[in-house]
Amino acid sequence: MSSREARLLRGVTMASVLVAILLIILKLIATISTNSISMMASLIDSTMDLFASLVTLFAVRIALQPPDDDHRFGHGKAEPLAALAQTMFIAGSGAFLFLEATQRLIRPQPLDTAGLGIAVMVISMLATASLLMFQRHVIKITQSPAIKADAAHYGSDFLVNAATIAALLLASQGMNWIDPVFGIAVGIFILWGAWHVGRHALDQLMDREVLDGSELKIHALAVGHPDVRAADHIRTRMAGRTMIIQLYIYLRRDLNLGEAHVIGDEVAARIQVLFPGADILIHEEPDHAPPPALKPN
Query: 82-104: per-residue pLDDT in tens?
Result: 777 777 777 877 787 777 778 77
Is 179 found in the same domain as 81? yes
Terminal CA-CA length for the chain:
26
Question: Residue 245: beta bridge partners?
Answer: 236, 280
Residue 72 confidence (pLDDT): 66
Q: How sure is the predictor about 280, in pLDDT bands with cuts at 50, 70 and 90?
A: very high
Say if 293 falls within a structural domain: no
Query: 209-256: per-residue pLDDT in tens?
Result: 887 788 899 999 999 999 999 999 999 988 766 788 999 999 988 889
- CA distances to 17, 23, 167, 247, 269 from 251, rounded to whole Å, are 53, 61, 67, 13, 17
Is the confidence at residue 289, as pLDDT, over 60? no
Is 130 found in the same domain as 72? yes
Residue 187 confidence (pLDDT): 77
Q: Return the higher-pLDDT residue of 132 and 156.
A: 132
Say if 291 falls within a structural domain: no
DSSP conformational letter for 225: S
What's the residue count for the chain? 297
Residue 293 confidence (pLDDT): 52
Cα within 13 Å of Cα(46), Cβ side: 28
Pick the last residue of a domain from 205, 232, 261: 205
Q: Which of 168, 183, 192 is nearest to 42 (CA)?
A: 183
Could you tell me if 7 and 15 are in contact, meaning their C-beta atoms sit under 8 angstroms apart? no
How confident is the model over 132-152, as a mean pLDDT?
81
- Answering whether pTM is above 0.95, one says no
Say if 79 falls within a structural domain: yes
Cα dihedral sign, 197-200-202-204: negative
How confident is the model over 190-199, as a mean pLDDT?
78
Say if 24 falls within a structural domain: yes
Domain that holds residue 227: 214-286
Q: Return the higher-pLDDT residue of 154 and 286.
A: 286
How confident is the model over 156-163, as a mean pLDDT?
75
Say if 296 falls within a structural domain: no
Q: Return the higher-pLDDT residue of 9 and 156.
A: 9
Number of domains in the chain: 2
Query: 103-124: per-residue pLDDT in tens?
Result: 777 776 666 666 777 888 888 8
Q: From CA 32, how far away is CA 11, in angstroms rounded? A: 32
Which domain CATH number covers 243?
Answer: 3.30.70.1350
Out of 145-154, 191-200, 253-262, pick the least confident: 145-154
Say what percent of the chain tops pLDDT 90.
16
Query: What SS3 class is residue 68?
Result: coil
Is 137 found in the same domain as 26? yes
Cα within 13 Å of Cα(233), Cβ side: 17
Is 200 found in the same domain as 131? yes
Pick the last residue of a domain from 182, 205, 228: 205
Q: Return the higher-pLDDT residue of 57 and 289.
A: 57
Run of H or E residues at 249: strand 242-251
